[in-house]
Amino acid sequence: MAKGFSRLLFLAASLALGIYLFTTVSGPAGAAPAAMQDAAPMRFVVVRSNEPGCEPVCAEWISAEGAISAKTPGELKNLLKKLGGRKLPVVLFSPGGDVDAAIALGRMIRQNKLDTAVGATRFIGCQPADKDCTANDGKGAHLLGTAYANGAFCNSACPLVLAGGVHRQVGQWAFLGVHQITTTFTKTQLTYRTKYRVVNGKKRITEKKVVARKNVGNYTTYEMNKAVERKLTAYLKEMGVDQSIIEIMKTTPATDIRQIALFDLLQTKLVTSLDGVDVLASSKICTTIPAAANCRLFTVADLKQ
């Protein structure tokens, strides 16, 4: 081999390296463990008010019911895209769920300048899960119903979604509660395949690829770590909500739920008025000039649907 010419020796090796990574998952942080396990994933549907006499201009809203998961923000994003910029209030009925997903939902709602409220929807005729339902044919909308507050709740991570609304309503008959965030740490062992070459007697890695992952244990804590607290603090500040909500969360056991009184919700700015969800769905909001943003004039074409 010529003098001064670098000696190159290419080698490949499979190295089983026991690398342990700790990842955290905030949530599920529902009203209670049993409630979270029983709750269906959150679904979003557009509902038209079935209030008698509202035609031809009736209120509409987005019914958001169920547990919040990592997939939930994507589903809301898809619905908002279909709405094409229409500003419908989001009516929440949820035991909670994934904290990061709840924050993403709140930011999406604020970005789109939507209002939020705690409430449930009583569907008339077709139900959200019904396929090929014809019960509401000729009535101008596939899903008809009424929004109500009595018995509805927004717990744990759900209030973070509520905080995203430009205007936020709970009302005296609905329930809003918080508790400690549940954080699960997962320990993962990674196995790498590493390729390297030797140049002038020195080993240089040219490729490193994960070829296997193995869960080797996890543990759960209810103490809010500094990173999570900073994340919540920044988010609530961004939404204009008082930080005292965090202290209530930290001091309420994860197995319990702390209902926040309506006056305290107003003081902390988690709500912007004492009105309930019924205001958003009332025919009265469609008789003003201009009508509320979630009011829609139905045409003959709509009635043929």
Instruction: Quote the pLDDT of residue 9.
Output: 35
Q: What is the CA angle 25-115-75, rounded to 5? A: 45
Instruction: Quote the pLDDT of residue 42.
Output: 97
Instruction: Give strand pairing partners of 20.
Output: 189
pLDDT beneath 50: ranges in the chain: 1-36
SS3 labels along 50-65: CCCCCCCEEEEEEEEE
Instruction: Give strand pairing partners of 187.
Output: 22
Find out whether 143 and 88 touch, Cβ atoms under 8 Å: no
Q: Quickly count: other Cβ atoms within 10 Å of residue 278's Cβ.
A: 18
Q: Which residue has the tokens 């001064």?
A: 4
Which amino acid, one-letter code, is at 295? C
82 φ, ψ (degrees, to nearest 5): -65, -30
- Rounded CA separation 238/65 (Å): 25
Instruction: Give strand pairing partners of 49.
Output: 145
At 246, list the tokens: 């965090």
Instruction: Quote the pLDDT of residue 185.
Output: 56
The DSSP secondary structure of 201-226, one letter per residue, reads TEEEEEEEEEEEEEEEEEEEE-S--H
| Cis peptide bond upstream of 128, omega within 30 | no
Instruction: Quote the pLDDT of residue 205.
Output: 81
Which amino acid, one-letter code, is at 243? Q
Class of 31-182+222-303 per CATH? alpha beta
Instruction: Quote the pLDDT of residue 184.
Output: 59
Which helix (H) or strand (E) covers residue 245, if one does? helix 244-250
SS3 labels along 14-34: CCCCCEEEEEEEECCCCCCHH
Tens of pLDDT, residue by residue over 156-198, are: 999 999 999 999 999 999 999 998 876 655 667 778 788 878 7
Residues near 100 by beta carbon (within 8 Å), at least 6 away in sequence? 26, 27, 70
